[in-house]
Structure 1
Amino acid sequence: MRTAWRVARADLWPLLVTMLVVALTVGITVAVPTQLSARADSAVRSAVAQADPPADLVVTSTYGPGNSDASADASDTTASVDDAARAMVTAMPASLRPVLGPPTAAASSTELGVSTARLPAGGVLWMTYLWAGREPAVRWVSGVAPGRPGTDGAVQLALSEAVARSLGVSAGDTFEAIKPDRSAVPVLISGVFDAVDPDDPVWVARPEVLEPTVGGPRAAPTTLVAGLLSAASLPAARAALEADGVTRTFRFPVDPRALDYGHSEALVRQLAAIEASPEVLRAPAPAPRVTTQLDALLLQARARVAATWSQATVLLTGLASGALLVLLVAADLLARRRSEALRTVRARGATLLGIAGRAGAEAAVVVGLGAAAGVLLGLAVAPGPVSWLPVVVLVVVGVLAPPAFAAATAARAEARRVSTDRHQRRLARRVRTVRRVAFEVALVVLAVVALAALRRRGVVSTSGADLVLAAAPVLVAAAGALLLWRAVPPLLGVAQRAARRSRRAGPLLAVARARATSAAPPFVALVVVVTLAALCGTFAGTARAGQSAGSWDAVGADALVRTASPDAALAGAAHSLAAADDVEAAAVGRVQPRAQLFGVPGTDEVRVLAVDPVTYGRLLAATPFGTAPELVELADASRQATTRATPGPLPALVARALLGTKPSLRWGDATIDLAPVGRVPDLPAAQPDGAPAAATVVVDRAALTAVVTAVAAARAVRTGTTAVRPDQAVADPDTVWLVGAGATAAARAAAAGTGWDVLPRAQWLADHRSDPLVDGLLRLVGLVAAACAGLAVVVVVLDAAASAPGRGRALSTARVLGLRRRGAARIAAGEQLPPTLLAALGGTLLGVLLAGAIVAPLALRLVTGQSGDPRLVLPWWAAIPIVLLAVTVLVVVAAESAARRRESLGQVLRTR
């Protein structure tokens, strides 16, 4: 034990470096999966919480014909609504109960027309019965709760104060509600109420009960109101609106806090089964229907999580591989430092197995302590289940590498018989060369195949079958390192020939030392870890720049104003916004995400962008999309179509695939012919929610209105129907784009009190960057880049330490012969800098090229939010490893020079 401790203490710092590398690598590989799992859970919850409309589970059912009785009492409502909701709660599968909250039920009429003295233009009315474990709590301002109909048969209805005020009615008043078949339903206002708790979830099913809303275009708004039925008055409403005039809706809200990624797959299957078989919930007949977008949201979230796991697996595989190479270099260093002792022990009769056993015992202690510390560190940072596979691999390699190198070093001490036959010696050299070349060729082929498979398939999961694909970057880096290593001897030979022409001995000594001390394992390890660091740095820079480009791709301007439906008032607002302070340009248009296209095989739907080409062109010129001469061509071609009175084609800018075709576009109830006059310029290729947009067709909004009106007029003449009115909204705008420093403030001021939606580009960018998966992945990229840079420094230090004894003897001898101390430092730097800089430069270049090759298969667009693959961006910090390694070499040289100052002449001249 004491002997082992003395041997370990003599080489304590390489052992501590090994322990540190193992601890940090194990800590990262333990903590990262747990952190990613937590962020996957957050991503699933966030996707559901931010869903609009909400991801509730909704069960709908009509009453059916012949099931209504105007004289029925409240027990009929209790049985058909309240008890039905309770029965579905009981029948709900156990896997869904923790996810779904208590149900709310509503029995609502179809849309009914209503017209009063206060509302002569008419509005839309819903009669609604609401229940959430009980009927909603209200305070009666006047009148009483609705009851069973009187002798006149009028349906009794209660109104909130706001609704009663908007209709101009009060308790005791009557009016007629018009059904879709134009028949009338008498309605009696039994009372006016205030909600005890307006935030009670019971009102969510029909918020118009508390406050009237306005729908439709701003030029012709429609007032939407709802009245409250009681359990006693619902049967009469059902009888008056039979057969399908009242629909029961049971809404089960989803609790995002109860969701997690691990159980989401089972939830998707369960939801699909319920949607296919609503009878499982004992939903009331006839023909109940279950709908929810929770399953679609979970599938989308799972796809994003799977892509993130794939990207993280590539990064972690690279980090673990780099750490394994560093462990091999450290094991090689220990064997080289102990070479004399190992050869002596072997010469005295020790077996190779015994030498390997002692080295293995030492390695087991060192690596075991490092792994234990790493696991504890990882659990302290991110408590949770541990993925033991990378830990086991690191421990096995860390324990087996030192014995293997020690045994190989000791074996080289044995005297070997060398054949005197020149042919036999040549044959032996050929065998060694063939083995080496075969290994290198096999590695290159494996790297090429793995990279080709990765580019073709992409890394889609973290299963064991995909680990080869995840390791493709490491394999490419290793193959490139070996090829680069083969260029080192020729380069050193060129440098040596140049140094021979120098009048000074320093350059020649430096090159000679470099040729004598260069070793393949440290060089290959250095190239690999620098490649991974450059790859991560390039990924980070590309993602950062891509996120900014993604914000332009999704929003299309500095601020976006949208309406739920086309509104002619947006045109005037856009004119005012263009004159606002710090607004460079503003454009208004109509965006139709999905419009039917005919006449082009393979393209059934397009996105139609109806704008003023000149104004929109000025806006594009102020964005990264740049000027668009095609819009000027469209404006010129559309000038005649804007005054068209007879049917004719509509000039349009189309995608390249549509040029030379004769497509037709469905717009509303009219089909118009398109006349492609050019190609669509660079435009936002994503929708504001980040989903890729369909192929885009750009048309002049005024020309579109004229052409559609002419087609409709011709059809009216041909069929004898009513023609389209000139003031009818054909291409009213629904979007305003703003560019400029004051765009966001101006847009919010214009949208105040209108119900328009404002989306600033800066907000989109901030929300996307704060996404749990995106933020977590970019943090991991930075962590792996820093870790690989640190491993590169460790490799340089270990390589320098391995050659330090020989370098010290050579430089000390040279100093005895007259070499100055400064000259010795220069020789040491000249020995170590060229191979290090060659590895750093080669690794950086290889990392950048590798990043460009795998940006698409790694689906980096999911990180940037772009509709397509991001453009590769090389940030300045990708060169940090080069500078860092150069500084490391200079620090090592300075440390060695300082250590040699204490050497005496006797020590240098002593026979060793």
Structure 2
Amino acid sequence: MRIPVPHWPSVAGRARADAGPLLLAAVVVAAITLLAGAVPPLLTATADAAVREAVRGNGGDLQVHSRMEADDGPNGSRLRHPRLAEDVDDFRARATEELGPGLRAVLRPPVASVISPTLKITDGSVLRTFQLAYVARDGGPAVTWVAGGPPRPTASETASVPYGAPPWVVQAGLSEAAAAALQVRPGARIPLADDQGNVKDVQVSGIFRPQDKADPAWRPLPALLNPVTAANGTRFAGLLSRESLPDARLAFGQDELRRTVRFTPDPDRLTWAMVPPVAARVVALKAASGSSAARDGSLKWETRLDGVLRTVSAQVEAAFAQASLLVVTLLAVAVLVLLLAADLLVRRRARALAAARQRGMSLPVIGGELLLESAVTALLAAAAGLGLARAVAPGVSWEWIAPVVVTAVAAGPAFGTLTAARATRDRRVPANRSARRWMRDTVRLRRAALELGVLVAAAGALVALYQRGIGGGVLAASAPALCALAGALLLAKALPLALRVALGRLLRSRRPLAVFGAARAAATSARLLPLLVLVTSVALTSYALIFAATMSHGPALAAVGQGTAAGPLATGLLRLAWVSAVTLPVLGLLGLALGTAAGAPERWQTLTRLRTLGLRPREARWVAAGELLPPVLLAAVGGPLLGALLAHLTFGSLSLHLLTGAAPAPAAPWWGLGLVAGVFLAAVAVVVPVESALRRRRRLSEVLRAGDN
């Protein structure tokens, strides 16, 4: 079997002759590839920023607690534990190891602390409280002692304290601000007592100045640096050292001091892709956490991080799904426009393809030549679009560009091969009337089956959206686009009926121009694809405008009601909605131009013949406008209404409340919908004079001699 070899001069000649439609299709492919390739990486970058903002704004520190081991000694006494600080270090290491490598990678170095209960300063002045605290992390906190020195042990390392003994002396350091507010110097005693009136004996060992006030080691108790004024009084704190921590243990009850290790998430290390494993690990730690009453040293984990990540995950997933919905609307209209461009290209080449087939060129060769041409054009355009996407986005995505590229590559060759095959088929028309009726009914049934399939797909997508929500996958995200296509199909079926009724009434009138225009419109109303492009593009433009108007207050509501994380997401989604609202009508106008160009030869041949019967050029333009206006008028009126209907049907399942803080009702920007309708109606007033000017140079004799060809 011989491999079909393209006839290269024919390929090059067809490409030169039809450079305009090919370039137009290439521009559509490049533009949609740019959007479809750039949107997912931009959404991922926005999701990363949202995760970081949520963690930064809502905290989510991990804290792990553990009771200290009992220090009971012989004969009803308590023993001083000189290596208590080392036990705290071991506890911090054990907690760090239990995190696991994935969670540990997104956390800052841990800070261990031992903080005493709140004590009252009993000097008879205004309400003031005091706490003792030991804080430690790797390499900090570093302080400079400006007076006195660090706390020292107040007894031998292995002292024994009987129960009921006088208050145990504890040394602690004060910050410069705390010492000035309390008016104490090194060696002074701070009069303290707990809630039960038990006196505590704390001696000031020295006054320190922190070398780095931003050191995370100060976060467990900010009062260590400066007195904190609150509604219940002023809070002070004293700094314990490794040497004085065992004394603090003896100064309080066995269960009054508890070891705590705090892990603070590092937002800069978090990305959206890391959220699922990190959240799962946090949940596992909390599930395996020991009881707060346990005395076996088991770890008790406390954190809000899993809740923060769960909330932001729901917001990000909703934003991704809503963005997918908008991208699908762009893809749907772009595919229809590419099909219309392929149809126009084949109409222009119909005679050449028929002639090539009649000269003996095989269908595989014809299809191969057309496929080569479309593949080169589409792939180069897609490469250009991806290159632009890479320039404006942090990466490119391939998942959404396939429908556009496949349509651009396959539609033209498929239509062209089918046209060439029909030009030479020897199928005869049967003489039997019933046989001819059967053939017509078969064609109608096939078309009805295709139309019914579109309606069923739209209904299935709408049901999937209702049942699964916006996160129900591609089918649910396709609900607005498929429903708009189904609505356009129903309107397209109603247009011929309305035109036939209007033509019947106009035939009884005395307005010949209106009759000619209605007759031409009724004759061309059977062309389904141009009308689908018009109505679908206007309907989805209206849908995008309503979506943008509804989301316009989303960032403010999200920032107030749910923190700032939903705001970056809502803002990015709003930008995508406006991009869609601008791109969709451009595609629709392009479809109008393509549909007009496809019917232009037949339309102006008819008008030229009417000119030989006395029709003036201005009247010919009015007849042309009468032919083009009904489908555009149907799109301008029916499209916004269909878009508003789709918004009311689908907005309840889009989870908009996750980004706006409330369940918003669809807000219809009627000025925008009216502007879109006006632009499409004005386009007819532009297209008709342009067509007339382009064909003005053709003489009547040339048109008449050309005949139907």
- 1:873 & 1:907 partners in 2: Cα distance? 52
Name the amino acid aligned to 1:888: A
1:376 equivalenced with 2:387 (yes/no): yes
Which residue matches 1:187? 202
- 2:129 & 2:299 partners in 1: Cα distance? 26
Which residue matches 2:684? 889
Paired residue for 2:548, among 540, 563, 568? 540
Q: How many residues align?
A: 682
Shift of 1:525: 2.1
1:879 equivalenced with 2:671 (yes/no): no
1:480 equivalenced with 2:487 (yes/no): yes
Shift of 1:490: 1.4
Shift of 1:540: 0.7
Which residue matches 2:63? 58
Equivalent position SS for 2:102: coil
Equivalent position SS for 1:386: coil
Closer/same/farther in 2, CA of residues 55 and 508 from structure 1, 3 Å limit: same
Shift of 1:345: 2.8
List per-residue Cα deviations over 1:233-252 (Å, max 9, x = no partner): 11111012131121222122
- 1:79 & 1:277 partners in 2: Cα distance? 25
Equivalent position SS for 2:272: coil
Which residue matches 1:303? 314
Among all aligned residue pairs of Structure 1 and Structure 2, give the percentage whose two residues are the same amino acid: 39
Paired residue for 1:212, among 227, 233, 251? 227
- 2:94 & 2:654 partners in 1: Cα distance? 48
List per-residue Cα deviations over 1:767-822 (Å, max 9, x = no partner): 688x2211111111111222211110111010011011112212222223322221
Closer/same/farther in 2, CA of residues 104 and 438 from structure 1, 3 Å limit: same
List per-residue Cα deviations over 1:570-616 (Å, max 9, x = no partner): xxxxxxxxxxxxxxxxxxxxxxxxxxxxxxxxxxxxxxxxxxxxxxx
Equivalent position SS for 1:844: helix
Closer/same/farther in 2, CA of residues 137 and 423 from structure 1, 3 Å limit: closer
Equivalent position SS for 1:148: coil
- 1:808 & 1:882 partners in 2: Cα distance? 26
Name the amino acid aligned to 2:401: V
Shift of 1:6: 1.5
Contact 1:768 1:774 in 2 (8 A): no
Which residue matches 1:397? 407
| Superposition map of 1:290-689 within 5 A | 290-387=301-398, 389-413=399-423, 414-460=425-471, 466-518=473-525, 519-545=527-553, 550=557, 688-689=560-561
Which residue matches 1:588? none
Which residue matches 1:837? 633
1:39 equivalenced with 2:46 (yes/no): yes
Equivalent position SS for 2:101: coil
Contact 2:51 2:565 in 1 (8 A): no
Equivalent position SS for 1:805: helix
| Superposition map of 1:90-109 within 5 A | 92-109=99-116
- 1:263 & 1:846 partners in 2: Cα distance? 41
Shift of 1:507: 1.4
Name the amino acid aligned to 2:417: A
Which residue matches 1:223? 234
- 2:577 & 2:498 partners in 1: Cα distance? 34
1:198 equivalenced with 2:198 (yes/no): no
Which residue matches 1:761? none
Shift of 1:265: 0.6
Contact 2:464 2:475 in 1 (8 A): no
Shift of 1:907: 2.2
Contact 1:542 1:874 in 2 (8 A): no
Closer/same/farther in 2, CA of residues 334 and 212 from structure 1, 3 Å limit: same
Name the amino acid aligned to 1:2: P
Equivalent position SS for 1:338: helix
Shift of 1:482: 1.2
Question: TM-score by structure 1 length?
Answer: 0.71
Contact 1:537 1:875 in 2 (8 A): no
Contact 1:59 1:249 in 2 (8 A): yes
Indicate the larger mover: 251-260 or 171-180: 171-180
Shift of 1:108: 0.9
* Bigger fraction of residues in helix: 2
Closer/same/farther in 2, CA of residues 397 and 136 from structure 1, 3 Å limit: closer
- 1:195 & 1:888 partners in 2: Cα distance? 72
Closer/same/farther in 2, CA of residues 894 and 302 from structure 1, 3 Å limit: same
Name the amino acid aligned to 2:414: A
Equivalent position SS for 1:127: strand
- 2:366 & 2:475 partners in 1: Cα distance? 35
Indicate the larger mover: 264-273 or 128-137: 128-137
- 1:284 & 1:824 partners in 2: Cα distance? 97
1:851 equivalenced with 2:622 (yes/no): no
Contact 1:367 1:399 in 2 (8 A): yes
> Gapped runs of 5+ residues in structure 1?
555-687, 691-763
- 2:363 & 2:212 partners in 1: Cα distance? 84
Name the amino acid aligned to 1:392: A
Name the amino acid aligned to 1:66: D
Which residue matches 1:268? 279
Name the amino acid aligned to 2:235: L
Name the amino acid aligned to 1:327: L
Closer/same/farther in 2, CA of residues 125 and 276 from structure 1, 3 Å limit: same
Paired residue for 2:15, among 3, 8, 11? 8
1:254 equivalenced with 2:261 (yes/no): no
Closer/same/farther in 2, CA of residues 134 and 345 from structure 1, 3 Å limit: closer
Shift of 1:72: 4.8
| Superposition map of 1:157-196 within 5 A | 157-196=172-211
Contact 1:455 1:857 in 2 (8 A): yes
- 1:19 & 1:385 partners in 2: Cα distance? 19
Name the amino acid aligned to 1:531: A
Question: TM-score by structure 2 length?
Answer: 0.90
List per-residue Cα deviations over 1:648-676 (Å, max 9, x = no partner): xxxxxxxxxxxxxxxxxxxxxxxxxxxxx
Equivalent position SS for 1:110: coil
- 2:57 & 2:9 partners in 1: Cα distance? 65
> Gapped runs of 5+ residues in structure 2?
1-7, 157-165
Shift of 1:260: 0.2
Shift of 1:168: 4.2
1:76 equivalenced with 2:86 (yes/no): no
Contact 2:95 2:261 in 1 (8 A): no
Closer/same/farther in 2, CA of residues 285 and 100 from structure 1, 3 Å limit: farther
- 2:645 & 2:554 partners in 1: Cα distance? 18
Equivalent position SS for 1:50: helix
Closer/same/farther in 2, CA of residues 365 and 175 from structure 1, 3 Å limit: closer
Shift of 1:342: 2.4
- 1:228 & 1:285 partners in 2: Cα distance? 28
Shift of 1:302: 1.1
- 1:72 & 1:772 partners in 2: Cα distance? 54
Indicate the larger mover: 471-480 or 433-442: 433-442
Which residue matches 1:666? none
Name the amino acid aligned to 2:35: I
Name the amino acid aligned to 2:561: D
- 1:144 & 1:390 partners in 2: Cα distance? 67
Paired residue for 2:607, among 808, 811, 814? 811
- 1:70 & 1:198 partners in 2: Cα distance? 37
Equivalent position SS for 1:837: helix
- 2:45 & 2:389 partners in 1: Cα distance? 14
Q: Greater RCO between the two (CA within 8 Å, min separation 6)?
A: 2
Paired residue for 2:129, among 119, 124, 128? 124
Name the amino acid aligned to 1:337: R
Name the amino acid aligned to 1:902: R
Which residue matches 1:824? 620
Contact 2:29 2:382 in 1 (8 A): yes
- 2:314 & 2:396 partners in 1: Cα distance? 23
- 2:69 & 2:233 partners in 1: Cα distance? 30
Shift of 1:114: 2.3
List per-residue Cα deviations over 1:596-654 (Å, max 9, x = no partner): xxxxxxxxxxxxxxxxxxxxxxxxxxxxxxxxxxxxxxxxxxxxxxxxxxxxxxxxxxx
